[in-house]
Structure 1
Amino acid sequence: MSTETVTIANLGAEGDGVAHTPAGAVYVPFALPGETVAIARVKNQGTIMSITTPSPDRRAPACRHFGPDAEGGACGGCSLQHYADAPYQAYKRGLVVDALKAKGLDVPVAPLIPAQPGERRRTVFTMRRTEKEMLIGFNQAGSHHIVSIRECPVAVPGIVARLDDIRAIGSALATSADPFRVTVLETATGLDLGFEGIRKLGDKERQAMTRTVLRLKGIARVSHEGEILIEPVKPLISFGGVPVSPAPAGFTQATVAAEEAMAELVLGHLAKAKKIADLFAGAGTFALRLARKAKVHAVEGEAKALAALDLAARNTQGLKPVTVEKRDLFRRPLMVSELKGFDGLVFDPPRAGAEAQVKELARTAVPRIAAVSCNPLTLARDLRVLVDGGYRIDSVTPIDQFLWSSHVEAVALLSREK
């Protein structure tokens, strides 16, 4: 370990400050561009010892668990609470701009649609039982150390207010001192808790959990590894007014505001389409909204998510026909011949993107495509394929869903001339 003073040139892709030194780039968490900081350096990682010249964009963090001086260690849930709004939002938009430019796509990028504190309805916590207490929180960045939290300005108040209740349920289920995870989703009917990683869960733990849940009230469902342990009331969320009961610990957009912003862009772009394909459809975020005005074919590889979509479509009056297909689009993308007849398409893949699928899409005549992504790098790669196939990028809109992190969503709208 060595100690030195460096100047931070920019923020890296993970939100760390980057100092360019004769020995190469050094990454310094919690540092901001323009700052001069004294660091303890190990290889290419630096830890702030003191700040000689602070940035005018530095501000006090919103949470006691953030930063190098946080009691109990720095929570790894956020990396940019100390950055003022305007440069923070410019940084996130820049991640999308830079990814597109790296693929030779010099297209207009809209201003970032910002996120606000208290919006995160879906949060994944790490839990572990110790001799003194039940820990619930987030791992410190680059560490297995769990920072047990008492507040979280990012999460919806309905989750923060129930942290002690989630602790109690986790304590009833824990069978050892090993860490495990819980996905917490706020639904219209109560919290949906999906636990993963508890070893040798037995009748004793299940019975203790049941007693705890019935005593606490306000818990819609508790599951473990996809198995429903107790469901006092079916958890329900709404996709454009269509009630859906998601699969246990299933994927949903992390905030309602970001989901609605994405949906508005997608629905506006595909407003005139009569037959739409929704690829990587999940539980129906877009498909069920689109079905208000168009026939929709929803394709998804996760059976439980697809079943939730199908059930919601069947039980909702006023929708156009919705068909579903379970299919691994990474291994078996829809081919050109299968996409004939669709006049609109939306795809929203995992972080890996939709490389195999867009190679087929680029050869189709589908007039309008909406591409939704949580990874600017794979989005840019996929858009390059579509542009090379003759599509025009009409707009790209970055959307902040993971406040004070380095993650950013984007919606790209494309069209093909007749």
Structure 2
Amino acid sequence: MAEQVIIERLGAKADGIAETDGGHVFVPYTLPGETVEIEREDSRGRLLRVAQESPEREMPFCPYFGECGGCATQHMREDFYRAWKRDTLVKTLQHARIDTPIEAMIDAHGEGRRRVTLHVRFPEGVMQVGYMAARSHHVVTIDHCPIAVPALKHHAPIVARAIGEHLKAGRKPLDIQVTATLSGLDVDIRGHGPMKDKDRLRLVDLAADLDLARLSLHGDIVVERRPPAIMMGRASVIPPPGSFLQATERGEQAMAALVVEACARAKRVADLFSGCGPFALRLAERSEVHAVETDKGSVASLDKAARMTQGLRRVTVEARDLFRRPLLTPELNAFDAVVIDPPRAGAEAQARQIAASKVPLVVSISCDAATFARDAAILISSGYQLERIVPVDQFKYSSHLEVVGVLRKSGKKPSAR
């Protein structure tokens, strides 16, 4: 049954929050002050109509906005969006009793997302290709993605649809990751399972028809027609299929510039959760670097890129699960600076080892403000001072935000509050 509610404020996920006699209701795609008509299901509200619009509302530029679950904020005016996103970070840090001033947010969308994952499903035997709807397993069929880089915007759905047609006999749910590289599209297919040799050969032909740089199945390379290269500083890196990459090229460049600036005087740097080397390879232009990463393929790619790039300082690499085996205090004490960029869950165990060390400088990068605050608080309680916080918005039109923090050992523990 439809009902009208007034949106009081926005939550951390960009949902509007209405206070009703039945408790809070969360309504996506709404703004504070708006009167909206919704259909309620428990604490969630499905937006039916905006009866009274906020002056901060604007027309979304994507025809799929509101159906596709990829974007949450296209209905916000730019100034309002930037203020809301920054304020969300401020509140998260205040909750952790971190009061370091936050610098201006860097818009790091650039040309757009350089990787997308499209889903191929066969409900009732009919192929659907697109993105998932918000909080749903329903596929929203798309023919383009406005927030992707030009090489992916229209072509990624074409590639995914062609692969779906090629593999439709199995009717298996497929997830097709498409990455834009300097030498063409790098595609990894997930969900199909093992494939017979004759079927793999058919995929080789398909990769040629689509002019793909590389095609992989569950991370196993089927064919590499051209090395899918990505520049990281002056180094050319060939990431393993499906490995982690920063969402946008500009986002990576912005964060790397902050990291390199902070570590300018460090002779030896440990880069933890290093991935394929977006920070390590740039740091190595000035400093010796020891890069540590769980994924062995990423470690191998970083090592090869470092060895093939002239003019870099010494780079050593180590494949190590930093959640189970964090670098210990005696190991950390050999470095002048530590850079740490863990997954969304953060790195509490590693933060505690750093807190007990003598490392004078830590640069902490995180895509989750709450875990950034938790790990930073551990360091602050042991005597580090959080000198700088820079938000980097490479996940534009979503609620996610990258945070770069610079912490320096003060030589004494702070007094208890």
TM-score normalized by the length of structure 2: 0.95
Contact 1:351–1:378 (8 Å) recurs in 2: yes
Q: Which residue of 1 aligns with 2:186?
A: 192
Matching of residue 148 in structure 1 with residue 147 in structure 2: no
Tell me, what secondary structure is at the counterpart of 1:119? coil
- In structure 1, the partner of 2:414 is none
Q: How does 1:170-319 map to 2 (within 5 A)?
A: 170-217=164-211, 219-319=212-312
Contact 1:117/1:155, CA 8 A, preserved across alignment: no
Structure 1 residue matching 2:14: 3-state secondary structure: coil
1:103 to 96, 107, 115: 96
Q: Is 1:81–2:85 an aligned residue pair? A: no
User: Which residue of 386, 404, 411 corresponds with 1:393?
Assistant: 386
Tell me the distance in 2 between the aligned counterparts of 1:49 and 1:292.
Answer: 55
Asked if 1:33 is matched to 2:32, the reply is: yes
Deviations 1:76-127 (A, max 9, x none): 1111111111111112112221111111111101121124474110112212
SS at match of 1:296: strand
- Give CA-to-partner distance per residue, 1:187-230, whole Å, 9 cap, x none: 0011000111113433343232221221232x110111110011
The 3-state SS of whatever aligns with 1:50 is strand
Q: Give distance in 2, aligned partners of 1:327 and 1:75.
A: 37
Q: Matched residues in 2 for 1:86 and 1:245: separation?
A: 38
Q: Which runs of 5+ in 1 are unaligned?
A: 68-73
8 Å CA contact retained: 2:147, 2:153: no
The superposition leaves residues 22-74 of structure 1 with CA deviations (integer Å, 9 ceiling, x where unpaired) of 3221011111111111211111011122212111111111111112xxxxxx0
Distance in 2 between the 1:204 and 1:93 partners? 53
Counterpart in 2 of 1:71?
none
Comparing 150-159 and 122-131, the one that deviates more = 122-131
CA contact (8 A) 1:63 1:151 kept: no
Gap regions ≥5 residues in structure 2: 412-417
Contact preservation (8 Å) 1:396, 1:413: yes
2:289 counterpart letter in structure 1: V
C-alpha separation in 2, matches of 1:279 and 1:189: 28
Read off the aligned partner of 1:27 and give its amino acid letter: F
Structure 2 residue identity aligned to 1:146: V
2:41 aligns with: 42
Given that 2:294 and 2:321 are in contact with CA atoms closer than 8 Å, whether structure 1 keeps it comes out as yes
Contact 2:118/2:160 (8 A) holds in 1: no
Q: Is the 8 A contact 2:145 2:154 kept in 1?
A: no
Per mean C-alpha deviation after superposition, the further-off stretch among 37-46 and 120-129 is 120-129
Aligned 8 A contact 2:120 2:160 in 1: no
Distance 2:404 2:340 in 1: 10
Residue pair 1:184, 1:193 contacting (<8 A) in 2 also? yes
Aligned with 2:62: secondary structure?
A: coil
Distance change in 2, residues 1:187/1:355 (3 Å): same
| SS at structure 2 position matched to 1:20 | strand
**Is the Cα–Cα contact under 8 Å of residues 113 and 248 in structure 2 kept in the other structure?**
yes
Aligned partner of 2:8 in structure 1 is 9
Normalised to the residue count of structure 1, the TM-score between the two structures is: 0.95
CA drift of 1:236 comes to 0.4
CA RMSD, 1 decimal: 1.6
CA contact (8 A) 2:110 2:250 kept: no
Which of 106, 119, 123 is the aligned partner of 2:112? 119
Q: What does residue 70 of structure 1 align with?
A: none
Distance in 2 separating the partners of 1:134 and 1:193: 19
Instruction: Give the CA deviation at 1:312.
Output: 0.7
Structure 1: distance between partners of 2:111 and 2:119: 19
Corresponding residue number in structure 2 for 1:340 = 333
d(CA) in 1 for partners of 2:116 and 2:210? Answer: 20
Q: Any idea what the Cα deviations from partners look like across 1:223-276, whole Å, max 9, x if unmatched?
A: 111100111011100111200000101110010011111001100000010000
- Paired residue type of 1:411: V
Residue pairs, 1:333-372, within 5 angstroms: 333-372=326-365
Higher mean displacement: 222-231 or 201-210: 201-210
CA distance in 1 between counterparts of 2:324 and 2:224 reads: 35
Deviates more, 1:398-407 or 1:160-169: 160-169
Amino acid at match of 1:9: E
Q: State, as a whole percentage, how many aligned pairs show the same letter.
A: 44
User: How many residues end up aligned between the 2 structures?
Assistant: 410
2:32 and 2:111 mapped to 1: Cα distance? 27
Structure 2 distance, partners of 1:49, 1:370, is 45
Q: Distance in 1 between matches of 2:219 and 2:48?
A: 45
User: 1:117–1:153: 8 Å Cα contact kept in structure 2?
Assistant: no
Q: 1:158 and 1:111 mapped to 2: Cα distance? A: 30
Q: CA deviation at 1:291?
A: 0.5
Query: Which residue of 1 is the match for residue 87 of structure 2?
Result: 94
